[in-house]
Structure 1
């Protein structure tokens, strides 16, 4: 039963992320269908992400007093209805509204799913393994949604492509109703108690670290297509395959992180910026010189990126014990803000030095994240142990 339960959570998270990121693969079709520019169509992505950033710290906390299964069913119903409304939208404004309203509940479902996975195991050391299975849904949603939606639209119509998102939500909804048990009643944590975790210096350090570390990944990844095309001179068809493989490596990274964080969390967290920094230095060195080694490095980067996703979630939630949903919401906000800030930051180096300089911004961000990790592992964690003794 527990395996089915965790699997359903993974499918649910996939259905939410599929709605968020799958739209990227059909933006040109939306631009053509509704007569708007590609930049305007991009608001379907940027406003969705903005809604997540705004709702992240607030909505999971407000909904935490309600039973988790009922909340997750409500969110999946909302996403299903929103995607159906989007499929039949008569103008772009209606399409935008149909997407943005459910986006405010995105952090609710993901936070609840991660918290439920954490609570599904008795041994605290096994929590990262349980969470890593749900995080697979995040990686799969990010890598599979766009190409599958694009394939559907190219072979049928835009409406069918948008209904694909609704269908995945509906499947997840049915599975949740059938296979996810009612969660046992537990002591409710008041809003005041949850907000009290904001006094923890460890939490703020974790949030800054998440912003920097996640930014170091996605700030560079935002330009990886241009890097592969302009620097490595790869054709578009090969680039699509490379990006798909990168996404699959994310899933491998989720699994690796689950094991690493369970057995030696501080060591695993500490090694993340080192690995990413080496990968970016190799990408700088190999730029335009050796295609096969560079592609191998990008696949290794995919594994590392998947591991980072688990690492930053673990870092925030362990810094705010007793407020799981709120902490997961804060993690989602910090991660999204990191992406928003890091993308233009890395773009500055591309503007000045060319596309081959994309990893430079990532290197600077990863160095700053290493400082945060150093403070966490060697200062704050030691102080906490001393106080406990």
Structure 2
């Protein structure tokens, strides 16, 4: 979208988008740390309270490829206000209700706009940056994703445990409300001047490059989050770390995500082909080291640090992989990225869980290794299927 006052990658618009993504991811993930308190507050079991997480994730997975497509022609500022406003309202309802069914509805409804806002944030951030800076701008938005996952759980857990469930919900409300106000006053109107037809956007599904990207992202994200789902168990039962040490290592992993985001923005701008191809191989190396050396805490601390960096680096790289396979439909492509990431997370957790069931916690990493081995094939096919001019352009950029 053409604008007279283009914003730099670190500009105010990208900052507001990053804060908005943080608020939305924080709302999604933050309740994980207060499930026992939700169970106590609403007089349900902890597994039942877990539906506050599951229903949100399920709605996101179902709506990811559809909702960004439907909103692709709507003024970007209006989309931002609608999404963040709905999240704010739903958090107010979650804060005030004493009915568990109402709570679940309040969690499910805004989740439909989660992929709309996040995919739009990636698209707008890239469009607002100058040529060659798109990856850096998107990487800054990914910092909001990482921060939401890193800070959402511990901050909400602390606030709720020190005060009350209501105050925990108030934290969600305040973050989204601040972004809503900032959007009103500091974000200009951003109409979509040339709306793409649904047929044009869906046409990217005819490209082999798109499907190779979707499969590669599903597998790589499955490898990342498959093992991450059981990392606490691995650190406790295999490494023998105490609860406090595990908490510290998980925080290190999360903070390292942010470092990975910043590295990816620079590396993708220099040589995207090498970044895409090196990701699964590097992950393979560290997962093998983890399986062999997982019993030694000092070594595991280093491995967790690097896995955290690779997780942040990988999210940026995977988003690039899909959106640059379908540049003619950026909103729909970002929706496909969110769909692939969520499917991968689910499939990876199931695969690693099966290895735990039959062989023990140490072997959970085999699920990730299996996913990565197959992903290498689809990454290679995706690069090969790219248009020759895109390959030449990517490989010609000086390192």
What's the TM-score, normalizing by structure 2? 0.94
Q: Secondary structure at the match of 1:319?
A: coil
Post-superposition shift, 1:381? Answer: 2.5
The reply to whether residue 30 of structure 1 matches residue 41 of structure 2 is no
Counterpart of 1:364 in structure 2 is: 370
Question: Residue by residue, what CA displacement relative to the aligned partner does 1:50-108 show, whole Å, maximum 9, x if unpaired?
Answer: 10111111111111111001111111100000011011121211111100100011000
Counterpart of 1:86 in structure 2 is: 94
Question: Residue by residue, what CA displacement relative to the aligned partner does 1:327-361 show, whole Å, maximum 9, x if unpaired?
Answer: 11111011001111110111111111111112111
Q: Secondary structure at the match of 1:271?
A: helix
Question: Residue by residue, what CA displacement relative to the aligned partner does 1:17-64 show, whole Å, maximum 9, x if unpaired?
Answer: 000111111111111211222111111111111101111111111111
Aligned to 1:201, which of 194, 208, 215?
Answer: 208
Counterpart of 1:252 in structure 2 is: 259
Aligned to 1:324, which of 315, 324, 330?
Answer: 330
Counterpart of 2:385 in structure 1 is: 380
The reply to whether residue 8 of structure 1 matches residue 16 of structure 2 is yes
Contact 2:252 2:304 in 1 (8 A): no
Partner Cα distance (1:136, 1:152) in 2:
22
Most deviating of 213-222 and 192-201: 192-201
Most deviating of 231-240 and 339-348: 231-240
Post-superposition shift, 1:383? Answer: 5.3
Number of equivalenced pairs: 385
The answer for unaligned runs of 5 or more in structure 1 is: none
Counterpart of 1:112 in structure 2 is: 120
Aligned to 2:185, which of 169, 178, 183?
Answer: 178
Aligned to 2:313, which of 300, 307, 313?
Answer: 307
- Written as runs of structure 1 = structure 2, the 5 A alignment for 1:205-244 is 205-244=212-251
Aligned to 1:98, which of 98, 106, 113?
Answer: 106
Instruction: Evaluate the alpha carbon distance shift between residue 286 and residue 154 of structure 1 in structure 2; reply closer, same or farther with a 3 A threshold.
Output: same
Q: Secondary structure at the match of 2:240?
A: coil
Partner Cα distance (1:346, 1:127) in 2:
35
Post-superposition shift, 1:287? Answer: 2.1
The reply to whether residue 76 of structure 1 matches residue 81 of structure 2 is no
Counterpart of 2:3 in structure 1 is: none
What's the TM-score, normalizing by structure 1? 0.96
Partner Cα distance (1:175, 1:133) in 2:
18
Q: Secondary structure at the match of 1:321?
A: coil
Post-superposition shift, 1:316? Answer: 0.6
Post-superposition shift, 1:186? Answer: 2.2
Post-superposition shift, 1:385? Answer: 5.9
Q: Secondary structure at the match of 2:226?
A: helix
- Written as runs of structure 1 = structure 2, the 5 A alignment for 1:33-182 is 33-123=41-131, 125-182=132-189
Q: Secondary structure at the match of 1:188?
A: coil
Partner Cα distance (2:252, 2:390) in 1:
42
Partner Cα distance (1:33, 1:334) in 2:
35
Partner Cα distance (1:128, 1:230) in 2:
39
Partner Cα distance (2:275, 2:391) in 1:
22
